[in-house]
Structure 1
């Protein structure tokens, strides 16, 4: 099965740039997850065909955050937020299938001045607890913009960025805790030493052209799916957003 995750940084903008639909059609995903839709209900009609069911989690604040999942495998159940339906920023969608869960997430940013770091760390603990609870029922595939470059290999200029939002010791430590709780960073599992592969680039001039990036978009899976990973890649040639899509292939049956 093929899973795709993409922070589109505004779905309407990504579509209008002519980027989203050609990629969506070409990648032929079973489940396609999107973050930062920046939409309210009724603001877009995606011509992706009747084969895909669409699930949306809109933020209360207009033009902010938001997630979506497009799946051609009918889910047994769909949950929003941490399973309680309370998610004012539209950050989490969980789809339950017969043999696994899929969770897409847009992790809160700590902000440039780190004013939201305390909230971010609390949120990380809640997210880890949520994934672990799901994992006790059946294996989990979690994906999205986790807003952290975990290791120095995951960022172009590690020394100068240490302590900055997305590369604080605290945020990186929470990622270590999450992996230690029974999850696998699929890209690193298959490509432990690959460098210069990133998923986000600043909008400053020539930054993407020079590949000065961060790897902050991930597919994580339960440890017991490790041997079922067939492929994990970063489609960094795909434009249309300041992030690029990431792709996971797993030997699974729904």
Structure 2
């Protein structure tokens, strides 16, 4: 991560909040800090696997690691920062694996994560950022017909995403670009996929509907290299909510 111009990109971005997924780090493996930023890391029990992090200019009221169910809290997949009038949650959703070998667990995760987010939303609005490992609709990947039953585009995973939105959340990118095609955030390393823009949109900012009017833009930075993913960005006016 730090060897692929991450630090330069981080500094130039000047983001208020910077969320990372699949960090694959254990505590003490990297010395990564930035002036004026607080950092929070959630590590997986298993070395070299999963993990999330948040860097923020704004010290939170509280920090939570994981969700309410212990079975989901050993892979470092969720961090929640609480502020006066909103929560920021970063998520790295489990992959269903080839032949959907982990789909049963994935669906349990989806239900429990949705319950967790809805419970937060009942207290104050939520901003969710993460690699959610699902392309919601056919517009969100290059080859939907060929991927219909593949991990990340199974009917079950897509239905879970639809259900989450129905609980009062908005997909920020589709709010601004409901019909835009060819907008992807992940490309396979195989088959020259990125050069051909044969990608998937699986990285999202979702916001509680109560915050929808405060969004000003949502961007996919497909020109930023260094990973099979690219950064996604949300600009939202939460000045009054800090």
Q: Tell whether 2:29 aligns with 1:63.
A: no
Flag structure 1 segments of 5+ consecutive residues without an equivalent. 1-13
Q: Aligned to 1:53, which of 38, 47, 52?
A: 38
Q: Pairwise mapping of residues 191-206 of structure 1 onto structure 2 (< 5 A)?
A: 191-206=177-192
Q: Tell whether 2:92 aligns with 1:89.
A: no
Q: Kindly tell me the number of residue pairs found equivalent between the two proteins.
A: 239
Q: Tell whether 2:127 aligns with 1:157.
A: no
Q: Aligned to 2:14, which of 28, 31, 35?
A: 28
The answer to whether the 8 Å contact 2:33/2:39 transfers is no
Q: Aligned to 2:57, which of 67, 72, 84?
A: 72
Q: How far apart are 1:84 and its partner, in Å?
A: 6.5
TM-score (norm: length of structure 1): 0.92
Q: How far apart are 1:48 and its partner, in Å?
A: 1.8
Q: How far apart are the structure 1 equivalents of 2:69 and 2:41?
A: 16
Instruction: Return 85-94 or 61-70, whichever deviates more.
Output: 85-94
> Which one scores higher on RCO, CA 8 angstroms, separation ≥ 6?
1
CA RMSD after TM alignment:
1.1
Instruction: Report Cα offsets for 1:80-119 as digits up to 9, x if no partner.
Output: 1115777110000000011100000000010011110011
Q: Pairwise mapping of residues 89-168 of structure 1 onto structure 2 (< 5 A)?
A: 89-168=75-154
Q: How far apart are 1:205 and its partner, in Å?
A: 3.7
Q: How far apart are the structure 1 equivalents of 2:104 and 2:74?
A: 18
Q: Aligned to 1:222, which of 184, 208, 215?
A: 208
Q: How far apart are the structure 1 equivalents of 2:195 and 2:124?
A: 41
Q: How far apart are the structure 2 equivalents of 1:23 and 1:162?
A: 35
Instruction: Report Cα offsets for 1:201-240 as digits up to 9, x if no partner.
Output: 0011411011000000000000011111101000111111
